[in-house]
């Protein structure tokens, strides 16, 4: 990979645009936009072609009127960095830049780019001058300096503010800026609007007559089989910095989403909408964190906690959303949103409130993989040096190829530090960018070969279907089998026991009482 290229996950190199290409791209953007306006279509720019932005762009581009005509033309904007520029040519070829187990994703990109021609991606900032609506989907993360000390976490808004500043330098005064990014409560009021006002005033725009139009509406993306549906066919909360902004957001969302079956919920302010997102995810994070304590108790009491949870979930409407323990919590939301809220309470909302319970849930979830390490460590009487471990699953969620903040990474590091030799397999992961020192095997049999320990870390369908006899045969040993979240039925556990394997499971204290047939 050279300094002027961008490398895609499949290893393809794409050349970064040179200075001489700017004028040509600007001319192309003007021509496409004029053509689309002549067809009566609004112009939407989606800022950020990541896991949410790219699919959101396709959904907007796919929206049609009652007469079956496209409502919008969408420019997807991605900064031309070595890390991400490859997404632009990939999208413009009619392919998605995200990998997920939803057949609708490649279909919608092909349909919008190739057939309808309502979606195109670009790197040129001139595109914001052409927009009627800008949807902000750029990344905003929380930093946790020390594992297990989430109270030290903070949010660096520099890159996010720069993205908003870019918008403010170019957009028309009446353009709606709709923030979808999960942000600390108060961001639209304290960061987005003031930044746009500052840029407008630099352009000599009278902000008393032309105040920035800013709204917030968060998505609930669920990677997996329902990726597209979780954006288009799901309830939305939204709010605006004023009534005009809120009404513009409502009109746009009604055009794009299935609001007939999933009505919108209007909040009194953008801060309320922002708070709804982080509270929603904090609730889930705390629910999961609670389960770790009960898993520890179940293991010592000889109880199958997952049976206990199943018995409770039959109470529909009150307890059917009870979470279960697992290797840990990963992904982009639950690992950071409580920290965003806690940071915002002081730095944006200027309160003296400390969200201590929310922050402790992050600590519990971040440290949860260490319990699986302890299970392995105890099963081997503390001797892991030179032991071969097959770690099945690098992603953070079953049947999803997303490795961001995967708890498997924490377990991998702990095992390696203890002297184990860890091989990794994941049928949906080609590379593990967050853990470059860990190679991901493509061949499961090779990954299992010689393993003293087999860890079922993620519940991919491929792993749930594995025959115990195959696993034992592939290792060539009678390995320790570790079930991180009820991936193995009692029947399969008995079969492993019959094959003379030792079996341990998080929250599965009943294993020691099982007898093989």
Q: Mean pLDDT across the chain, nearest whole number?
A: 93
Asked if 77 and 163 sit in the same domain, the reply is yes
| Of 445, 456, 476, 433, residue with least CA distance to 375 | 456
pLDDT band at 413 (very low <50, low <70, confident <90, very high): very high
Average pLDDT over residues 63-86: 95
The rounded distance, in Å, linking the Cα atoms of 102 and 118 is: 21
Backbone CA torsion sign across 137, 53, 460, 226: positive
Burial, 505: exposed, middle or buried (Cβ in 10 Å; 0-12, 13-18, 19+)? buried
* pLDDT level of residue 516 (50, 70, 90 thresholds): low
Determine, yes or no, domain membership for 338. Answer: yes
> What whole-number distance in Å separates Cα of residue 2 and Cα of residue 318?
56
Residues 215 and 317 placed together within one structural domain of the fold: no
Phi and psi, residue 442, nearest 5°: -85, -25
| 264-266 and 213-217 strand pairing | unpaired
Give CA angle at 449 (397, 497), nearest 5°. 75
Give CA–CA dist 508/456, Å, rounded: 14
In this predicted structure, the answer to whether residue 134 has a pLDDT above a threshold of 60 is: yes
Does any domain span residue 283? no
What tokens does 298 get? 């179940």
Per-residue pLDDT tens for 310-364?
999 888 777 878 888 899 888 878 888 999 999 999 999 999 999 999 999 999 9
CA distances from 511 to 24, 313, 457, 483, 496 (A): 67, 22, 18, 11, 11
Supply 503's token pair.
């079996």
Where on the phi/psi map is residue 260: left (φ > 0), alpha (ψ -120 to 50), or beta? alpha
Cα dihedral 267, 272, 277, 281 in deg (nearest 10) = -120
Q: At which of 273, 302, 320 does a domain end?
A: 273
Q: Are 238 and 250 in contact (CB under 8 A)?
A: yes
Confidence of residue 55 (pLDDT cuts 50, 70, 90): very high
Average pLDDT over residues 369-373: 96
Beta bridge partners of 483: 456, 505
Tell whether 358 and 225 lie within a shared domain.
no
Do 412 and 379 fall within a single domain?
A: yes
Q: d(Cα 496, Cα 500) in Å, to the nearest integer?
A: 7
Could you count the other beta carbons within 10 Å of the beta carbon of residue 16?
17
Query: Residue holding tokens 């639950």?
Result: 334
For residue 517, name the pLDDT band (cuts at 50, 70, 90): low
Question: Do 49 and 177 have their domain in common?
Answer: yes
Give the pLDDT of residue 221.
81
| Strand partners for 217 | 238
The average pLDDT across 147-174 equals 94
From residue 385, give the alpha-carbon distance in Å to each of 371, 417, 418, 483. 18, 9, 6, 21
pLDDT in tens, 261-304: 999 999 999 999 999 999 999 999 999 999 999 999 999 999 99
- Is the pLDDT at 505 greater than 60? The verdict is yes
102 within domain boundaries: yes
Q: Is residue 288 part of a domain?
A: no
Considering the domain boundaries, does residue 280 fall inside one? no
In a domain, 57, yes or no: yes
What residues make up the domain containing 50? 5-273
Say if residue 405 is in the same domain as residue 261: no
Tell me, rounded to whole angstroms, the distance of Cα 303 from its chain centroid: 33
| DSSP letter assigned to residue 409 | H
pLDDT band at 1 (very low <50, low <70, confident <90, very high): low
Where residue 401 sits, what CATH number does that domain have?
3.40.50.720
The CA distance from 463 to 399, in Å, is: 10
Tell whether 251 and 342 lie within a shared domain: no
Same domain, 267 and 321: no
Cα 455–Cα 458–Cα 459 angle in degrees, nearest 5: 115
Residues 312 and 184 in one domain: no
pLDDT reported for residue 352: 96
Percent of the chain having pLDDT more than 90? Answer: 79
pLDDT band at residue 430 using 50, 70 and 90 as cut-offs:
confident
The answer to whether the CB of 75 falls within 8 A of the CB of 46 is yes
Domains in the chain: how many in total?
Answer: 2
- Residue 337 to residues 49, 181, 340, Cα–Cα distance (Å): 21, 11, 5
Radius of gyration of the chain (CA): 25
Angle at CA of residue 403, ends 397 and 406, nearest 5°: 70
Q: Are residues 342 and 438 in the same domain?
A: yes
Q: What is the pLDDT of residue 399?
A: 83
Q: What is the pLDDT of residue 334?
A: 81
Identify whether the C-beta of residue 51 lies closer than 8 Å to the C-beta of residue 223: yes
Chain Cα centroid distance, residue 112: 23
CA distance 172 to 169: 9
Q: Are residues 243 and 97 in the same domain?
A: yes
Q: For 179, how many CA atoms within 13 A lie in the half-sphere containing its CB? A: 34
pLDDT tens per residue, range 87-105 = 999 999 999 998 777 899 9
Q: Reply yes or no on whether the pLDDT at 457 is more than 60.
A: yes
Which pLDDT score is estimated for 210?
96
Say if residue 185 is exposed, middle or buried (CB neighbours under 10 Å; 0-12, 13-18, 19+). Answer: buried
- pLDDT computed for residue 9 by the predictor: 81
Looking at residue 439, what is its pLDDT?
Answer: 82
- 256-260 average pLDDT score: 96
Per-residue confidence (pLDDT) for residue 66, from 0 to 100:
93
Q: Which of 49, 64, 63 is nearest to 6 (CA)?
A: 49
Judged on CB neighbours under 10 Å (0-12, 13-18, 19+), 296 is middle
In this predicted structure, what is the pLDDT of residue 320?
79
């Amino acid at each position: 990979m050279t300094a002027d290229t961008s490398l895609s996950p499949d290893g393809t190199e794409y050349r970064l645009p040179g200075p001489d290409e700017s004028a040509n791209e600007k001319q192309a953007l003007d021509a496409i936009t004029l053509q689309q306006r002549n067809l009566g279509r609004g112009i939407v720019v989606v800022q950020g072609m990541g896991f949410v932005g790219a699919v959101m762009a396709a959904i907007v581009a796919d929206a049609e009127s009652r007469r079956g005509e496209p409502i919008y033309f969408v420019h997807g904007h991605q900064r031309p960095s070595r890390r991400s520029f490859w997404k632009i040519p990939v999208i413009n070829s009619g392919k998605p830049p995200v990998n997920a187990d939803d057949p609708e994703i490649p279909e919608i990109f092909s349909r919008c780019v190739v057939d309808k021609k309502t979606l195109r991606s670009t790197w040129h900032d001139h595109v914001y001058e052409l927009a009627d609506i800008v949807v902000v989907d750029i990344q905003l993360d929380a930093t946790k300096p020390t594992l297990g000390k989430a109270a030290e976490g903070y949010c660096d808004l520099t890159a996010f503010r720069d993205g908003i500043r870019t918008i403010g330098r170019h957009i028309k005064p009446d353009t709606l800026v709709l923030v979808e990014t999960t942000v600390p409560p108060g961001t639209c009021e304290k960061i987005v609007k003031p930044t746009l006002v500052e840029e407008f005033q630099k352009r000599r725009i009278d902000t008393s007559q032309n105040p920035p139009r800013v709204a917030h509406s968060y998505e609930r993306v669920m990677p997996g089989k329902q990726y597209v549906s979780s954006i288009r066919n799901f309830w939305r909360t939204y709010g605006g910095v004023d009534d005009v902004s809120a009404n513009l957001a409502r009109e746009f969302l009604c055009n794009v989403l299935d609001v007939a079956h999933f009505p919108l919920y209007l909040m009194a302010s953008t801060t309320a909408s922002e708070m709804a997102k982080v509270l929603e995810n904090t609730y889930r994070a705390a629910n999961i964190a609670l389960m770790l304590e009960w898993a520890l108790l179940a293991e010592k009491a000889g109880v199958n906690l997952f049976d206990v949870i199943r018995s409770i979930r039959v109470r529909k409407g009150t307890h059917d959303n009870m979470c279960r323990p697992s290797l840990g919590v990963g992904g982009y939301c639950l690992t950071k949103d409580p920290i965003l809220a806690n940071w915002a309470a002081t730095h944006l909302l200027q309160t003296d409130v400390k969200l201590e319970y929310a922050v402790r849930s992050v600590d519990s979830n971040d440290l949860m993989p260490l319990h699986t390490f302890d299970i392995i460590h105890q099963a081997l009487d503390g001797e892991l040096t030179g032991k071969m471990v097959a770690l099945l699953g690098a992603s953070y969620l079953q049947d999803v190829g997303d490795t961001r903040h995967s708890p498997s990474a924490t377990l991998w590091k702990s095992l390696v530090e203890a002297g184990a030799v860890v091989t990794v397999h994941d049928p949906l992961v080609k590379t593990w960018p967050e853990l470059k020192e860990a190679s991901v095997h493509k061949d499961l049999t090779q990954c299992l070969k010689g393993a003293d320990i087999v860890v079922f870390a993620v519940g991919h369908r491929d792993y749930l279907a594995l025959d115990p006899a195959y696993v034992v045969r592939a290792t060539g040993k009678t390995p320790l089998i570790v079930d991180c979240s009820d991936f193995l039925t009692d029947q399969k556990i008995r079969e492993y026991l019959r094959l003379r394997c030792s079996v341990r499971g998080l929250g599965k204290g009943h294993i020691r009482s099982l007898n093989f047939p």
